[in-house]
Amino acid sequence: MPKKLIKDKIMAKGFEITVYTEDFKNESISLKDKIFTYIQFIKSKYINKILINTFFIILSFFMASCSASKVLENKSTFEKIDSLVVVNKPRNFSGVVLISEKGKNIYQKTHGFSDEAKKIPLKINHQFSSMSIAKQVTATLILLEFEKGKIDLNSPISRYLNNFNYSWASKVKVHHLLNNSSGIDSWELKENLLFEPGTQFKYSNIGYALLGQILENITGNKYENLVNNLFSNLKMNKSFYPKEKFPTVNSYFISQEKGRSLVTDFPLKPEYFPGCNLTVSAPDLAKWNFALHNGKILKRETYQKMIHYSITNIHTLFSEKEIGYGYGLRINDKENLVEYGHTGFMPTAGFTAVNLYYPKNKISVIVLENQATDNFDIAYYFEEQVRKIVVNSNLIK
């Protein structure tokens, strides 16, 4: 039977639809059903498309609004830091400030001179002494050897130190050196420990010097090479084991008695470098933080050992209360935030350093100064104020 095309028009919520269909004798599907099916197709194709487009327009507007709001909030935070670093009471600032988010630098500020006599301004890539931030690097190198099975963190240090003639070496464990609970004095090896290992906290630079010796013994490589290889792998191109006594900037000692003076005789010997002196730049420390705290260096279970703590101590930059000390890191989880970091300063060396990381939003805050004061009450003044500004901002909330 010949086909007969039937043309009809129907209105569906504002859409005029022209329907062409075929009518056959004894056809089981009626024209009415065909038209209804066609209308449903048109509705799904066009009405839903309009709704989806409208949704994405609203979503884009919302996201743009949030982004604009965040930019304004961040600008306010950064302006506060801009205003802070130019004040000269209770002391002046000479250094760099860098903030990064998820591995990208979002703020950087320099103030002061790398050479005051020649009035050479500081630059963000200038190199400073890490001071005690070096401890987390040494701790990481130890943990890398732990992953290879070359060191047992719960073994006595006598196992890894040849001809080390101290009776207490058989009860001080590698773990105790890492978390500063060994009972060893800060700068000097003595016949007796200050306390039973693992029972108290005592900051020990010489303890980290011993870790440097252990690394050399178990790897057969110089500590210098271990550091440089690690930094090179992370593309920290401005950071390295110090080849010379001084980094690329001059440093200044601020004495309460004698005033400000250029440091001409660096006080630290190379054996102490694993605990308190590597050459670093602020951008490189941001790279270090992102790599260390995001699984780029250590395995997850190894990293957990680093940030776990069994000993506590007070450092007023972080809190008036005791916070944890892991392996070369202070662990602050007591004030409705999680914060990992370390400080470092030495007046006679002329450097002050603070490196902070907030894992929730992957924020790094780094402050490096080429000066240090022997007035501890204001030694970390700018570092404390920068931290307060950041902690009270939406950067880490």
Q: Residue 135 sits in a domain of what CATH number?
A: 3.40.710.10
Closest CA to 100 of 361, 368, 383: 361
Compute the chain's Rg from CA coordinates: 31
* Residue 235, pLDDT score: 98
- Is 352 inside a domain boundary? yes
Same domain? 27 vs 92: no
Same domain? 24 vs 87: no
Same domain? 266 vs 151: yes
* 3-state SS string for 81-144: HHHHCCCCCCCCCCEEEEEEECCEEEEEEEECEEECCCCEECCCCCEEECHHHHHHHHHHHHHH
Number of domains in the chain: 2
- Domain of residue 6 covers 1-37
Same domain? 236 vs 378: yes
Closest CA to 311 of 180, 203, 189: 180
Provide the CA 151 distance to its chain's centre, in angstroms.
26
Please give the model's pTM, rounded to 2 decimal places: 0.82
- Which amino acid belongs to residue 364? S
Residue 7 DSSP SS3: strand
- Which amino acid belongs to residue 57? I
- Is 194 inside a domain boundary? yes
- Is 109 inside a domain boundary? yes
Same domain? 122 vs 194: yes
Q: Is 156 exposed, middle or buried (0-12, 13-18, 19+ CB in 10 A)?
A: middle
* Residue 334, pLDDT score: 81
- Measured CA to CA, the distance from residue 302 to residue 253 in angstroms comes to 39
Same domain? 250 vs 377: yes
Name the stretches of the chain with pLDDT < 50: 1-27, 62, 64-68
Residue 275 DSSP SS3: helix
Same domain? 130 vs 194: yes
Torsion angles phi and psi, residue 323, rounded to 5? -125, 170
* Beta-carbon-side half-sphere exposure of residue 376 (alpha carbons within 13 Å): 6
List the beta bridge partners of residue 313.
323
* Residue 75, pLDDT score: 83
* Residue 285, pLDDT score: 98
Q: Is 377 exposed, middle or buried (0-12, 13-18, 19+ CB in 10 A)?
A: exposed
- Is 53 inside a domain boundary? no
Q: Helix H segments across 25-119?
A: 31-42, 48-84
- Is 169 inside a domain boundary? yes
Same domain? 24 vs 83: no
In Å, how far are 155, 324, 348, 366 from 278, measured between CA atoms?
27, 24, 16, 15
- Is 49 inside a domain boundary? no
> Residue 104 contacts by C-beta under 8 Å, 6 or more apart in sequence?
none
* Residue 36, pLDDT score: 56
For the beta carbon of residue 323, count every other beta carbon within 10 angstroms. Answer: 18
Same domain? 290 vs 148: yes
Same domain? 1 vs 117: no
> Residue 102 contacts by C-beta under 8 Å, 6 or more apart in sequence?
290, 361, 362
- Is 56 inside a domain boundary? no
Give 307-332 pLDDT, tens digit per residue: 999 999 999 999 989 999 999 999 99
* Residue 167, pLDDT score: 94
For the beta carbon of residue 361, count every other beta carbon within 10 angstroms. Answer: 11
Same domain? 2 vs 85: no
- Is 243 inside a domain boundary? yes
Same domain? 221 vs 287: yes
